[in-house]
Every structure is written in C-alpha cells, then in structure tokens.
Structure 1
Amino acid sequence: MADYVPTAYRNSTNSPDWLNKGDNTWQMVSATLVGLQSVPGLVILYGSIVKKKWAINSAFMALYSFAAVWICWVTWAYHMSFGDKLLPFWGKAKPALGQSDLIAQSTLPATTHYYKGGDVVETPMVAPFYPQATMVYFQCVFAAITVILLAGALLGRMNIKAWMAFVPLWLTFSYTVGAFSLWGGGFLFHWGVIDYSGGYVIHVSSGISGFTAAYWVGPRAQADRERFPPNNVLLVLAGAGLLWLGWTGFNGGDPYSANIDSSMAVLNTHICASTSLLTWTTLDVIFFRKPSVIGAVQGMITGLVCITPGAGVVQGWAAIVMGILSGSIPWYTMMVIHKKWSLLQKVDDTLGVFHTHAVAGVLGGATTGLFAEPVLCNLFLPVTNSKGAVYGGVGGYQFVKQLVGASFIIGWNFVATSIICFVISLVIPLRIPDEELVIGDDAVHGEEAYALWGDGELYDTTRHSGDYNMQQVGVATGVTQDSVAR
C-alpha cells in the first residue's frame, strides 16, 4: 500500500520526457483567456453596443460562430492552417480528432526553416513541449474570434441563415490561408514577415473581409443608419474589459511557451492599449468637447490590434509610440476621412471594423517593421538576425516585407470574401427582408432581449411560429396569464 499512487496522479508519474507542465498550463490558460474574449466577451459587447431590437441577433451571431468554428476546425481546418504543406499558402486538410496524434508532442511540420532556402537548417521545426491537443485548442479560439470580429461589420441586417453558411466557408477559404502563410510554415513565414500574434492573420483579415461582406450584404435600414444608440453602455464596457484582459492570453500565448518573450508581449500589450485609449479620448475631448465612452472602447481596441503583430519583438518605448499612433490614425480615418470619402460612406460597416481592425492592423504591421528589436526578434522569428528599420542594416527590408505581407492578406480576403458572398447569395438572400429590419430580433428570432414595460411578456402569435413563444411556454409549465392574475 505504501507504493499506491492515487488515480488522479498516475499519469503525472509517467509523463513523456517532452512534456513541460508549466508550458502546457500557460498555453491552456492563454487559450481559455482568448476564448473568453469571444464567449462571453464579444457576445456581451455586440449584444449591448447595438440598438435594443438587434441585441439578440448580434449576440447570437457571435455565439453561433464560436460553435461552428470548433467543429470545422477539428474536422478539417486545423491542418489546413498548421499541417503539412499543400501549397505555399495552404496546408493539407485532414481531421484533428485521433487520439494518437492529439496526445503526441505538438509539431508544426511545415515550419522547419532552411538557410536561404537551401539544405542547411537555420531554425528547427516548431515543436512546443505540450501535446497536439493543446495546440489545436489554442489555435481554434484564434480562428473563432477572427470570424466574430468580422461579424461586427454586419450587425443589424445580415440574414442569420446566410451567416450560418458564411462562417464555415470563410474559415475554410480565407482564414486558413492567412494562418498557414504567416504562422503554419507558408511562404510569408519563411520569408520572415512578422505577425507575432495576428495583426495580419486576424485583424487585417477580419477588417477587410468585414468591410467587403458589408458591401455585398447591403446597408441597415435607413432609420438604423441614422440613429443606432447602444442599448447598454455599461455592458459594452464589461464586454470590452473581457476583451482587454483576455488579450493577455492572446499575445502572451503566442511564443508557445511560458518564456521571457511571453512576459514582454503581455507588458507591451497593456502599455499600447492604455496609451491608445488615452490618445483617442484626448482627441474626442479636443474636437468634440466630451470624452466618449464608446470612443474610449474603440481606442482600446485599436491599441490592442496595433501592438498584436509586434507584441513580443518591440521595446516598451515603441509600444507607447505605437499606442499614440493607433489612438490617432484610426481616429482620423474614422472621424474625418470616413465622412469625406464616398466609398466609406456607401458601405455600411456597423462597428467600423475597417478602421479598428484593418487600419490598425496594417499600422501595427508597418510599425513592427520599424521598431522590431534584434534581440527580441531572435527569440521568436525563424529568420535569424531580423530587425526593424530604426535599427539599420536589413531593417529597411523588413519594413518592405511587412507591407508586402499586408498586401497579400488584403488582396486574398477581398477576393475570397467577395466570391463567398456571391455564391451564398445564389442560394440564400444575404440581407434580412426590409419588413423584418423594421422589427429586429422579434421578427428574426421570435425573442427579445429585455422584458421592459411589457416587452417579451406575451409574444404575438400572429408573428411567431417558433416553439419558444411565451404562450406555449406558459402552457407547458402551467404558468399562464390567468394563473398569474389569480
């Protein structure tokens, strides 16, 4: 009996030599923090930042996306993003469901980097010290939040059935391409384009695709475009807070290890976000005489987006500079250029993801090309001796690489998203019918967000044929208006 080991600890005594429990723990925690950014973070933010009549529809778009991405990811999309190379920008599709693969050491097979494309290995294959299951989990929540961020451009008018078809198609033909190209061992990865944690893969792609899809779907109802107040600003802040603190895992988990670079990335993330929020708010006060809470949230987001491509490869002072730029340039494009440029006026980008994600993401990638510090680059990048332009030498070439990388992501997402929207439109209308746009959630889902002043207490059965209207629930539970009255 003295040698008895409790069941819960038996696996710990037989752990494989490659398993680092600290790295595995941090990676699982980071993945969970990123997942919380989506559910409940963006579910709360989206459900609160729109008109009351669109609260359920907006929140459900996020919730549905999170679930749909999970199934697509483990069935085929993970290996398209991080598996064996099929094309220079795409991996081979196959499931990530088998036990033998998932409990083996995680590897990204296409990431072995050879010196100048020859036979000499410059940087070994990425092989973190934890199981493949952890990597699949970590990368899945990144894929999910990308689609949800894209949805921000489409709130308040996209047909939910069209959205249900859009999510798996966009994940398959757009997201996986960017992920493999920049992270999984594709041509941009081996060329040395820096995207530390998704400034391009996640934010530029969601911003460009969201804007493109908004063009294809069409605008909200005119009344909603003219006046679209948040239904609960305090809950917007709650969702934004989850988004901000969740970014600790977003950027801190991308070295694939609980190492010194992850600490640098976390610190820079919060420095840049804070600077950007304060810069945006200051500009609001200077030009509009009032600090806007929604504006502060936008500034927070642009700061988080801007630092993401360079979080672990820039110094703290550079994070402050990037925060000032991310709090001012997207502010200018949103508040000034947007109001003067007819194209931006024509496309109804509900939450301005073009500005907060596409503009801020490109800005972050470009400034990373300026400020990437040599020592930090060698901790992370496959191409050794990389550095930003301010450090001289090959730094100017790094800046060019960053611009080319952004151009590829912009071009691919514009074309792929347009094709996806066109194909879906042949089968399912992209936009909610005008008569339902007037009503909102009540027409689309048969549900309303808040039971205020009688709302939601008794649905009109002439408009609802679903199984969940209150009259039917009352019959099922024995609680009816008459019983309440008595």
Structure 2
Amino acid sequence: MALCNVKKWVAAAVLTVPAAAMANGTADWLQPVANLDTGDSAWMMISAALVLFMTLPGLALFYGGMARKKNVLAMMVQSFAVASLVSVLWMIVGYSIAFTPNNGFLGGFDRVFLQGMTFIAEDEKLTIYPGLPTIPESVFFFFQMTFAIISSAIITGAFAERMKFSAIMIFITFWVLIVYAPTAHWVWGSDGWLAADGVLDYAGGTVVHINAGIAGLVGCMLVGKRLGFGKEPMAPHNLTLTLIGVGMLWVGWFGFNAGSAGAADGRAGMAMVTTQVATAGGALAWMLCEKLFGQKPSALGLASGALSGLVGITPAAGFVAPVPALAIGLLTAAGCFFAVTKLKAMMKYDDSMDAFGIHGIGGIIGAVLTGVFVSTTISGAEVNWFAQIEGIIITVVYSGLVSFVLLKIIDKTVGLRIDAEDERQGMDITTHGERVE
C-alpha cells in the first residue's frame, strides 16, 4: 500500500493514527490541556475498565467453569495472577517498547517506568499519544495495558489443568515482552512496519487473538495431553460460570472494539453495532452447526459461538458495515466449530479450553474476512490482500517460533508439567492448597 493510502487508513483507525503524526519523523507528545475532550477521555477510561472486566472476572469465570472441579480455582488464579504480572511489566517497559517511536520493529525506551509521561498538567500542557490529542497519554497507556493482559490470559486456557504455575508465570513474563509488545508495535505503533505495509487490524485480530492462539497451541502440544484425555470424561464442572463469563466478555468487548475508536464518536458507535451483530450471528451459527451435525444446541456451544463472533469481528469492527459484520460472525463461528470439533481430533492435541480453536482460528478467519468486507467509505483504506496475508503469516510464525523456544528453555530449567499425582489430585489443592467444596 502506498504511503498516502497508509496515511488515509491511519487517519481513520485509531490505534494506528499516530503514523500520520509521525510521517515527518517527529512527534509532539505535549499538547495544550485545552485540546483535551472530557467526553472522549471518559469514554476511553470506561472502555479500558470494560476490557479489564473481560479478564477480571470474565475470562476467569469462562475458563473456571470449563475446568474440572479440582482445577477451577487454579484456572481463575491464573487469570488474576497474569493480570497482576502483565500490569507491572507493562508499566516497567512493555508500553515503551510497544508504542514509543524507534524503528519499524521495536519501540524505544522513552517511557520505561513511564518516565516523561505527565499525569498532572504542567504549564497548561499534558502528554498525549501522538495522533490522539483529545485524551491524556495515561488513559491510552492503561487502555493498551488491558489489551496486553487479556492477550496473555487467553493463552492459559490451551494448556489448562497440567502446566506448572511457575512455568506459566515465567512464560508470560517473556512472551508479553518478546512477542506481544513487538507485534503490537509492528501493527499499531507509530512507525510499525506492518502498519506501513497496510495491515488492517482494528482492535486485535492479529496482535491479540492470532498471537495468543498460536502461543497456546504450541504450549499445549509441548506440555502434552492431560492424563486420561480421550479415555475418561473431562466435562466442564459448571457451565453456569462459563455462561456468566462469556456474558461479561460480550459486554466488555464493546470497550475492546468501540474503545478502539479512541473517541466517543460515530466510529465508536459503528464498532458497537458491528460487534453486537457479529456476536449474535456467531452464537446462532454455532448452535445451527450443532443441530446440523446431530447434536443438541448446548450452553457451551452458545458460549463458544458468541466468543467466536467476538473474535472474528475484532480486526474489522471499525472497517465494515453491519451486514458484512453479520457474515463475519456467521463464517467465523462455523470455522471455529470445525476447528474445535474436527481439527482438534484429527491433529490429536489437547487444547483444553479451545484457546487456539477459537482465538487462533477465529483471529485468522477474521483477519482474512476484514480484507474481504472492508468498506473504503467507512475505513478510508484500500484493500491490500498481500498485507492481510502477510500480517497473518508473520504473526503465526513469529509467535509460534518464539513461544516454542521460550517453552523449551523453561522445560529444561524449571519444567513445564506438574507431577502425575498432582495432576490426578487437581491443581487447586496441590498448587494453591485450597479446594472448592
């Protein structure tokens, strides 16, 4: 995509808007306080809280309900612990290497420990993220932190019920800094090379879902299957929790997608509409698939379909109209249904909570369909098929290879898997010394 077209796109898509401000190689991070908009700032703070709500307690309940009773607390603890860990890492260095300008591949260190970021106006000026002049930089920082949190927490569902808690924490520490932050810079950063190539990712199809899904797939394959997998029942212990969790994810996702407009404006409104339509379509499509394959429409299927629709619309939410959004929800759910019910059995991997089957596959389908349905009127972008496929392949290969290396190193040092006897007793009691009665 030509540079002029990139500028047109980034002028329309919030998270890469800074590329327009950086076109001349400089950025003015200080803006007059008078330029701030209280409505935009309030909406972005609410959106950030909604995205955090997706993980705490949304994803924690979603995964906790899908686990066996002996592992429910362990699954929920992982979401809370990852959220705490990533929050600190993002403040120390993650945000800086993801979003400060440096080169096309990695951000700089201007915001390590948030140095240089102002929280109270000085001389009637406040730091903003270039291209987002109506909100304080601190709000943008927190909004992006919540994205890093849920991306990391998603991964834990793939190798649930058998990976050491210490191994998970070590892996997430390095993954968020070596995989997530650089990828966010490539796609959303002011000078990211995939953004310059024209990759369209409105709110995280590649950065969040493909990234996390592929890491989860590598993790579940390296750690191996759960004891008794395929031989004994491993049904979710409490689908009520799962439905509550997916309901929280559904509501929180409006902050995820509509918040990615960076303002309380028409684009945010469009993203809310497309998110709702795609999610509803995904839920219906999954239940229809169950019916067509001779199954009963299930609560878990409804939850999985809704989540598939949410994942699929994420890269396209601010780029498409409502009717294409419905098509994206329907097609993504059908593809994820195949991945969860057929592909997993054919490839014989134990993706416990279908992190790859829904987030990885759904992210890939959504990224492709973004190129199919993108509206030049809505987005101001021209379709670049090569860029979309490039973004998918680069993310899959990079996340897969680096995750593989990290997990191999952890396996050779602290070990990846809990003892067989601990796995039989359940991680609640053997890892955390607690249990659900």
Structure 1: how far apart are the matches of 2:387 and 2:407?
30
The number of equivalent residue pairs is: 398
Query: What does residue range 290-309 of structure 1 map to in structure 2 within 5 Å?
Result: 290-309=296-315
Say whether residues 1:418 and 2:421 are aligned partners: no
The residue type equivalent to 2:100 in the other structure is G
Q: Which residue of 2 aligns with 1:446?
A: 433
The residue type equivalent to 1:303 in the other structure is G
Structure 2: how far apart are the matches of 1:337 and 1:207?
14
Pick the aligned partner of 1:227 from 233, 238, 243: 233
Q: Which residue of 2 aligns with 1:358?
A: 360
Bigger relative contact order, structure 1 or 2, given CA contacts below 8 A and separation 6+? Answer: 2
State the Cα distance separating 1:406 from its structure 2 match: 0.5
Structure 1: how far apart are the matches of 2:44 and 2:245?
23
Change (3 A) 1:100 1:289: closer
Q: Deviations over 1:411-465 (max 9, x none)?
A: 100111011111212221100111100001212211002x2xxxxxxxxxxxxxx
Q: Which residue of 1 aligns with 2:257?
A: 251
State the Cα distance separating 1:166 from its structure 2 match: 1.1
Asked whether the 8 Å contact 2:205–2:311 carries over to 1, the reply is: yes
State the Cα distance separating 1:223 from its structure 2 match: 5.3
Structure 1 gaps, min length 5: 1-14, 109-125, 379-385, 388-394, 452-486
The residue type equivalent to 1:141 in the other structure is T
Structure 1: how far apart are the matches of 2:43 and 2:113?
22
Q: Which residue of 1 aligns with 2:12?
A: none
Change (3 A) 1:225 1:238: farther
Structure 2 gaps, min length 5: 1-31, 121-125
The residue type equivalent to 1:128 in the other structure is P
State the Cα distance separating 1:334 from its structure 2 match: 2.1
Q: Deviations over 1:199-228 (max 9, x none)?
A: 110000010010011122222112587321
Asked whether the 8 Å contact 1:128–1:257 carries over to 2, the reply is: no
Q: Which residue of 2 aligns with 1:155?
A: 160
Query: What does residue range 61-80 of structure 1 map to in structure 2 within 5 Å?
Result: 61-80=78-97
The residue type equivalent to 1:367 in the other structure is L
The two structures, once aligned, show a CA RMSD in angstroms of 1.5
State the Cα distance separating 1:96 from its structure 2 match: 4.2
State the Cα distance separating 1:128 from its structure 2 match: 3.4
The residue type equivalent to 1:88 in the other structure is G
State the Cα distance separating 1:349 from its structure 2 match: 1.0
Q: TM-score, length-normalised on structure 2?
A: 0.88
The residue type equivalent to 1:134 in the other structure is V
Q: Which residue of 2 aligns with 1:456?
A: none
Structure 2: how far apart are the matches of 1:260 and 1:96?
35
Pick the aligned partner of 1:313 from 310, 319, 331: 319
The residue type equivalent to 1:331 in the other structure is F
Percent identity (aligned): 30
Q: TM-score, length-normalised on structure 1?
A: 0.80
State the Cα distance separating 1:289 from its structure 2 match: 3.4
Structure 1: how far apart are the matches of 2:248 and 2:325?
21
State the Cα distance separating 1:233 from its structure 2 match: 1.0
The residue type equivalent to 2:264 in the other structure is A
The residue type equivalent to 1:147 in the other structure is S
Q: 3-state SS of the aligned residue for 1:250?
A: helix
Change (3 A) 1:182 1:289: same
Say whether residues 1:89 and 2:105 are aligned partners: yes
The residue type equivalent to 2:288 in the other structure is T
Asked whether the 8 Å contact 1:280–1:299 carries over to 2, the reply is: yes
